[in-house]
Homo-oligomer: A and B are copies of this chain.
Amino acid sequence: MSDAVRAKRRDRTGRSAGLRQLPFGLVRNRYRPLDILGEDQIEAIHRASLRLLAEVGMEVLHEESREILRRGGAEVEEANCRVRCDPTLIEELVAKAPPVFTMEARDPAKNLIVGGDNLVFTAVGGPAFASDLDRGRRAGTYADMRDFIKLIHQLNVIHQEGGGPIEPTDLPSETRHLDFYESVLTLTDKSWQCWALGGYRVRDAIAMAAIANGIPQDKVDGRVIAGTVINANSPMRLDIPMGEGLVELARAGQATIATPFTLAGAMSPVTLVGALAQQNAEALFMIALTQLVRPGAPAVYGGFTSNVDMRSGAPAFGTPEYAKAAMVSGQLARRYRLPYRSSNVTSSNCVDVQAAYESGMSLWGTIMGGVNMIEHSAGWLEGGLTASFEKLIVDAEMLQMMREFLQPLDTADVGEAMAAIAEVGPGGHFFGVGHTLERFEHAFYSPLLSDWRNFETWEETGALDGTRRANGIWKELLRTYVEPPMAPEIREELGAYVARRKEQIGVGML
């Protein structure tokens, strides 16, 4: 690209001096969460869910999990894989999970605290499709996945990669987790989430994270360098791959983000309270299992309750129900002193007003609900089927705004400000006074994406809407991407691990 072309493009996005964004930083939410239910209502949900686990029970398809549960005191009906647990057993086990833990990143400056009043923004994980304005929606590829990881690295407000932003469908499915792990460990030095469909994918993740982070394999124990979401197959079922993944994570002391997928009206009762009680039962069950495997293993209470559109059966996200469910989930997680995970979601099929207001509803609902980890916080589109390059930028702006909103308001300046008003006097303006000049550069939030110029200037420079501007921004971020340095011997060891494991998996050694 010539300098002239480059200058022109910069001009079209209204940015002449590079992109502005906040630096990497941990986020704390010091505001009081909004409790939308009373304590008695929370207790009713708690009791209903424990009774569900005692009477209906969970179907656990993974044999080792059933055995662990049986030895731990659960009642196991082998004929139909049904596991029932006494309420006190669940309560005792859940109480063993830590309220706060640290997830380590390749760059220790990017280690994350999960729990308490800390707030982690994790990027989208899992979509099978990639989408952008230029190339449209298509099946995800290895190249798309790598580009998306580069952008996650570039966007400072995103704390953590979220478990593969785009499925590399052009790679063999048995070994593509190795390609993803190698990519995420070399393209970014932020922490990340692994895959848990089967125990071997977890073992590979831990081994590769240890190599990348420079930790001898025998020194991993006691440090959290891997972790990911374990979904229940709602209603009330834990399948074999997820059971394997959970047991493997807990055994190694890695993080289980226990998340039922309780879509009210489909996999859950058609009332929100019913879906939430079911969510609570499934989440507590999975967390209890982690503590049977290894007491004190880090576990996160995951909430993903939403509802289906009762006309079409399609899932709806970022709805009023979603915001309420997110808040109740926070109340429940705090009741158990567990870190709480929720998500930034939308059903929209494109990066439009709907995508923005549904994501806004999600972010406010979860953050006011006291969330600790927002999965899919950036890049999710179309009910999670698609990772969108433009949505990633829109979300990054919204996350930056939330982070800034969570900065407590400093009131120390009130005296000096009043002196400035006296100086300016009625009817004047503050542009030129000393009080302004001393502070103006860092006084207010400076946006990544928003365009605050007047209509005429905006129109003259192309009348680009926010989605088109986002398109320019991700391209600029990709253009200026620099891979974070890695010691050559570590890079080599990672590559050798991947090569060896691909051979092994090729001959059936999972």
- Known interface pairs A44-B411, A430-B265, A465-B352. Does A421 touch B236 (Cβ–Cβ under 8 Å)? yes
Chain A, range 89-131, C-beta contacts under 8 Å to B = none
Copies of this protein chain in the complex: 2
**Complex contact B353–A355 (CB within 8 A):** yes
A504 at the interface (CB under 8 A from B): no
Contacts A312-B452, A436-B269; is A421 near B235 (CB within 8 Å)? yes
User: Whole-angstrom distance between the alpha carbons of A75 and B44 in the complex?
Assistant: 61
Q: Is there contact, CB below 8 Å, between A56 and B357?
A: no
Q: Are B414 and A320 in contact (CB under 8 A)?
A: no
**Contact, CB under 8 Å: A353 / B356:** yes
Which residues of A in the span 445-474 have a Cβ within 8 Å of any Cβ on B?
A: 445-446, 449-455, 458-459, 463, 465-467, 470
Q: Counting CB contacts under 8 A, is A313 at the interface? A: yes
A408 located at the interface, meaning its Cβ lies under 8 Å from any Cβ of chain B in the complex: yes
Check B427 against A357 for contact (C-beta < 8 Å): no
Q: A439 and B270: CB pair below 8 A?
A: yes
Instruction: Say yes or no: is A424 at the interface (Cβ < 8 Å to chain B).
Output: yes
**Residues of the B chain whose Cβ atoms lie less than 8 Å from the Cβ of A320:** 401-402, 404-405, 407, 445
Best-buried of A55, A235, A237, A356 by chain B (most CB within 10 Å): A356
User: Known contacts A313-B431, A353-B351, A449-B354; is A235 also within 8 Å of B424 by CB?
Assistant: yes
Which residue on chain B has the smallest CB distance to residue A313?
Answer: B431
A429 sits at the interface (CB 8 A): yes
- Which residue of the partner chain, among B137, B270, B417, contacts A436 with CB atoms under 8 Å? B270
Structural contact, B410 and A314, CB atoms closer than 8 A:
no
Check A409/B443 contact, CB under 8 A, given A356-B357, A357-B401, A426-B82.
Answer: no
Residue of B nearest to A309 (CB): B452
Residues of B within 8 A of A351 (CB): 353
Q: Which residues of B contact A455 (CB under 8 A)?
A: 137, 349, 382, 385-386
Given A34-B368, A452-B314, A454-B314, residue A440 in contact with residue B270 (CB < 8 A)? yes
Residues in chain B near residue A265, CB distance under 8 A: 430-431, 436, 440, 443-444
The yes or no answer to A376 lying at the interface (CB within 8 A) is: no
Answer yes or no: A277 CB below 8 A from chain B CBs: yes
Does A13 make an interface contact (CB < 8 A)? no
Docked Cα-Cα span, A37 to B440, in Å, equals 23
B350, A353: Cβ atoms closer than 8 Å: no
Known A351-B353, A394-B357; judge A273-B411 contact (CB<8 A). yes
Against B, the Cβ 8 Å flags (1 = close, 0 = not) of A411-433 are 11111111011101111111100
Q: Does A273 contact B463, Cβ atoms closer than 8 Å? A: no
Residues of B within 8 A of A236 (CB): 421, 425-427
The residue that A444 contacts in the complex, of B51, B319, B349, with Cβ under 8 A, is B319
Q: Once bound together, how far apart are the Cα atoms of A385 and B459, in whole Å?
A: 15
B-facing residues in A121-161 (Cβ within 8 Å): 137
A64-72, A321-329, A333-341: which lies at the interface = A321-329
The reply to whether the CB of A36 lies closer than 8 angstroms to some CB of chain B is yes
A58 CB-CB contact with B under 8 Å: yes
Does A48 make an interface contact (CB < 8 A)? yes
A209 cross-chain contacts in B, Cβ below 8 A? none
A439's partner among B271, B386, B435 (CB-CB below 8 A) is: B271
Residue of B nearest to A131 (CB): B455
Closest Cβ–Cβ distance, residue A371 to chain B (whole Å): 15
Select the residue from A267, A275, A421, A445 with max chain B CB neighbours within 10 A: A421
A398 proximal to B (CB < 8 A): yes
Measured CB to CB, the residues of A under 8 A from B are 31-32, 34-37, 41, 44-45, 48, 51-52, 55-59, 82, 137, 233, 235-237, 264-275, 277-278, 307-316, 319-321, 323-324, 328, 347-361, 364-365, 368, 382, 385-386, 394, 397-398, 401-402, 404-405, 407-418, 420-422, 424-431, 435-436, 439-441, 443-446, 449-455, 458-459, 463, 465-467, 470
10 more contacts with CB within 8 A, not counting A59-B426, A270-B430, A310-B444, are A51-B418, A56-B426, A268-B421, A315-B452, A319-B445, A323-B405, A349-B455, A357-B394, A357-B397, A368-B368
For this complex, 20 residue pairs linking A to B, each with C-beta atoms less than 8 Å apart, are: A31-B34, A36-B408, A36-B409, A37-B411, A44-B411, A45-B411, A45-B414, A48-B415, A48-B417, A55-B422, A233-B427, A235-B425, A264-B443, A266-B430, A307-B444, A314-B454, A347-B452, A353-B467, A353-B470, A356-B360
